[in-house]
Structure 1
Amino acid sequence: MEWTGARYADTPTVEVTTWVDAPPERVWELVSDVGRMPGASAELQSVEWVDGAVGPGVGARFLGRSAHPELGEWETVSTVIECERPKVFAWAVVDPENPTAVWRFRLTPRDDGTELSQWVQMGPAPSGLSLAIEAMPDKEQKIVFVRMREFERNMTATLEHIKQWAEA
């Protein structure tokens, strides 16, 4: 994978893909429904639109609350940075100009269904993971590697949930 041996400053990424037996419009309804995402994620506990937003659109913001056995609990505000129905839905965490992470769903029509991918980029702004790296700078590459593997596992599970919902 491209993030092997990466440092946080390298803004490592990981992407997972699956095929869904449903049209992109149906899959789009699911991936852009941020309030539903905690049901597909091991870490994400709750999500709600803020600042009067009621749904996806570039500039809309949402508050997410997450929990992790080693990292604790935290909340972040994300801003939608790409919203092209039914092709792409992406958001930047904390600051859209200097995010702690960027997440993206991409939907591509394929074989009478949808190729669905989820992608994440860590950084460039410091995040909670930065605290662990600062405490153990000699283990930065291992810390980043482990976190990216967690992202990969969690994203694979998220896509499986979306696939099941869309195909139901």
Structure 2
Amino acid sequence: MTDTELENPALFQVSARTQVAAPPDRVYAAVSDLTRSGEWSVECTGGRWVSGTPGTVGAVFRGENQRPADVVAWAPVVRGAWTTDSEVVEAEPGRCFRWAIRDSSGQRQESVWSFEIEAAGRGCVLVHGFWMGRPTEGIRGITADMDAAEKRRFFGDWTAKLADDLAATVRRVKRIVEQA
């Protein structure tokens, strides 16, 4: 957990875990290559490194994303294709890889995705997490016209969506890495 995560209460804090029959270094090599995200992510279809040394702290990745119309269909979320820029904030080979989503002005937001890896037996445990402290630029836009009940409904529905997405992602990473 980062210092920021410890200092601020979470608007979202969701994770999923799985046992992977592969060494931590091999799992890390896969998940820290964000250009491969399209192989396992529910929404990120790929992307490219736009600055810095790929996979190192400070490097920036532009992700290409796609969301179908039926995802939390009642809420005004982005649908179809869009891009996000994210900055690597932690890169510890074989152990932890984190990146923070940037806002439209290029500033890091309290919106952090992570893969944590811990050796276990002949393989490792992979934990994929998402944490959001203060609402991001996007969340503020989505909820701007919602009343308190709608906001509660949105945060509940979005948390469930995130949990499902993270679980699907770790299952896909497991399958891909174990088949390599």
Normalised to the residue count of structure 2, the TM-score between the two structures is: 0.80
Moved over 6 A (4+): none
Counterpart position of 1:4: none
Residue from 127, 135, 156 that aligns with 2:137:
127
2:88 to 74, 80, 89: 80
CA gap 1:125/1:133 in 2 versus in 1, 3 angstroms = closer
Residue 142, structure 1, aligned to residue 142, structure 2: no
* Matched length: 159
* Corresponding residue for residue 67 of structure 1: 66
Task: Tell me, in whole angstroms, the C-alpha distance in 1 between the residues paired with 2:127 and 2:118.
Answer: 9
Q: Using the alignment, how far apart are the partners of 2:10 and 2:120 within structure 1?
A: 32
The 2-side partners of 1:97 and 1:19 are apart by 34
Using the alignment, how far apart are the partners of 2:130 and 2:110 within structure 1? 11
Q: Point out where structure 2 has 5 or more consecutive residues left out of the alignment.
A: 1-8, 70-77
| AA partner of residue 23 (structure 2) | P
> Does 1:153 find its partner at 2:161?
no
**Whole-Å separation in 1 of the counterparts to 2:10 and 2:124:** 31
Could you say what secondary structure the match of 1:58 adopts?
coil
Where does 1:14-25 land on structure 2 (aligned, <5 Å)?
14-25=14-25
User: Contact 1:100/1:127 (CA < 8 Å) preserved in 2?
Assistant: no
Deviations 1:106-149 (A, max 9, x none): 00001211100011012424232332211213211211111111
Tell me the secondary structure at the aligned position of residue 150 of structure 1: helix
Give the distance between the partners of 2:14 and 2:43, measured in 1 at CA. 17
Which residue of the partner structure matches residue 163 of structure 1? Answer: 174
Question: Does the 8 A contact of 1:98 with 1:124 survive in 2?
Answer: no
Unaligned 5+ runs, structure 1: 1-8
**Match of residue 126 from structure 2:** 116
Query: Are 2:111 and 2:136, in contact at CA under 8 Å, matched by a contact in 1?
Result: no
How much identity, in percent, do the aligned residues show?
28
- Aligned residue identity for 1:83: A
Is contact 1:24-1:109 (8 Å) kept? yes
CA drift at 1:67: 2.2
Cα deviation for residue 79 of structure 1 reads 0.5
| 78-87 or 140-149, which deviates more | 140-149
What TM-score do the two structures reach when normalised by structure 1?
Answer: 0.86
Distance in 2 (CA, whole Å) between partners of 1:93 and 1:109 is 28
| Structure 1 partner of 2:109 | 99
